[in-house]
Amino acid sequence: MAEEYLNYIGGKWVPAAGGQTFESRNPADSGDLVGVVAKGGREDVDRAVHAAAEAYPEWLLTPVPARADYVMRVGLLLEERKEELSRLMTREMGKTLRETRADVQEGIDFCFYMAGEGRRSYGHTMPSELPNKFSMTVRHPIGVVGLITPWNFPVAIPLWKIAPAVVAGCTSVFKPAEDTPVLATILVQLFDEVGLPPGVLNLVNGMGEEAGAALVEHPDVRGISFTGSLEVGRMIAERCARDMKRCSLELGSKNCLIVMPDADLDLAVESAAWGAFATAGQRCTATSRIVVHEEARQPFTERLLERVRSMKAGNGLDETVELAPVINAQQKERVLSYVGVGKDEGAVLLTGGEALTGPEYDRGNFIAPTVFGEMTPDMRIAQEEIFGPVTGIMAVKDIDQAIAYANSTQYGLSCAIYTHDITNVFKAIQQLEFGVVYVNAPTIGAEVQLPFGGMKNTGNGHREAGPQALDEFTEWKAVSVDFSGKVQKAQGIQ
């Protein structure tokens, strides 16, 4: 009998108000039932928001270092239970053990980093134009926030939102993806275990169109932090705009790796393979486009195909597996439909492009790693986010054309360039329209001390991680103390 997991509202573990549940199953093995989870809806969200609102006044007055201490203690628990959580993550969302261990480690790193921000919650002091007047800025929490997260990083991304919300002084309602509810529940259990006061963090599992929509629309929620698709992000932005509600969006991407003639091809090939097929391409920073100088295209392509064809697909609990399944059957069909689109558009299928079959694959959502050649920037497979193990190669004549191809989509999250030419490096840094730029490194590999986010339709200008993470959850307050003993008027008014 699978374990049942409840929602967490006001410091108590409770079933869904409607009594409904849903299942979480292993994408590598549909026969593996990971857990049965409370299916929350509008009523559950309302209860959770009220619990957060009740907890907010006292949490606001809690010293920032004391808030941050809870985050530090969660990081320590994650460190103790890293292997256990990594194995559970592989079962629930499919990616390989080396990747799930990295996911948990990123959560640990960010907890420790954000705990440090609790003693660095800096404002600024600045001179007043008037005598005997002191001016400064301080951060103020925005209040109750809704946190809506995806399934592909079920520990790291929730902590990118929960940790700064806690440190900032916000209280929150966490609505995780319905594909990874068990990991989300266990993560919240850790905050409960370290004694986070009731109502500061609440959990409602459920479907996006029910629980997620109710959270976005709730009048007592002052901010939404969302990571997911562009389509859903647009709907959230529209609703938040009508309600004058803070909204932070991390949305789609179409990342690019540029290979110039002077590149170390072995490094570029390994980076392209890792960037395109880690997590079965289900990363917001996945290398879904490869732009190669025509002088390097043939040797690069030959080496890449050799590397990709050597990848072992299978259950991520097998330490020798490199290619994991996609998250569910619906996503599998979506990715395969894009393979058909690419063929119809005239791209040349160089390898992969089909569902994997056989006893080890038949109960899972496996797709062979897929590489297209002769891709052009106007093709749908070069413009639309596929979110699966599919990439394509485009040839260019020079660095200027490479940058133009890289910039040719509506997205702008991560771009990498492989070159040792200093002119190429600085042209790329200056002209690429991406929030994250790597030189001689893969498109994937965010570090917690750096701001993470994209340009154009990848988001709405906010950044997660780094010290900028607190900007999502705080307002700047300008404070002036006049000790002159008289009414002083600014701008020279006498």
Tens of pLDDT, residue by residue, the chain (494 residues): 679 999 999 999 999 999 999 999 999 999 999 999 999 999 999 999 999 999 999 999 999 999 999 999 999 999 999 999 999 999 999 999 999 999 999 999 999 999 999 999 889 999 999 999 999 999 999 999 999 999 999 999 999 999 999 999 999 999 999 999 999 999 999 999 999 999 999 999 999 999 999 999 999 999 999 999 999 999 999 999 999 999 999 999 999 999 999 999 999 999 999 999 999 999 999 999 999 999 999 999 999 999 999 999 999 999 999 999 999 999 999 999 999 999 999 999 999 999 999 999 999 999 999 999 999 999 999 999 999 999 999 999 999 999 999 999 999 999 999 999 999 999 999 999 999 999 999 999 999 999 999 999 999 999 999 999 999 999 999 999 999 999 999 888 88
Which among 213, 178, 227, 184 has a CA at the least distance from the CA of 328? 178
Which among 345, 99, 383 has a CA at the least distance from the CA of 256? 383
CA distance 5 to 8: 10
- Residue 104 has a pLDDT of 98
- Residue 24 has a pLDDT of 97
- Residue 335 has a pLDDT of 98
Which among 332, 317, 308, 364 has a CA at the least distance from the CA of 95? 317
Domain boundaries along the sequence of the chain: 4-251+459-478, 255-439
Which residues are known to be catalytic?
A: 250, 284
Q: For residue 321, what are the contacts with CB-CB under 8 A and spacing of at least 6?
A: 96, 312, 313, 314, 315
Residue 433 identity (one-letter amino acid): E
Which among 41, 55, 46 has a CA at the least distance from the CA of 218? 46
Please check whether residue 384 is in contact with residue 233, taking contact to mean a CB–CB distance below 8 angstroms.
Answer: no
Please check whether residue 138 is in contact with residue 89, taking contact to mean a CB–CB distance below 8 angstroms.
Answer: no
- Residue 491 has a pLDDT of 87
**Alpha carbon separation from 327 to 89, 103, 366 (Å, rounded):** 12, 16, 9
255-439 architecture in CATH?
A: 3-Layer(aba) Sandwich (3.40)
4-251+459-478 architecture in CATH?
A: 3-Layer(aba) Sandwich (3.40)
What b/e readout covers 139-155, taking b as 16+ CB neighbours within 10 angstroms?
A: bebbbbbbbbbbbbbbb
Please check whether residue 7 is in contact with residue 38, taking contact to mean a CB–CB distance below 8 angstroms.
Answer: yes
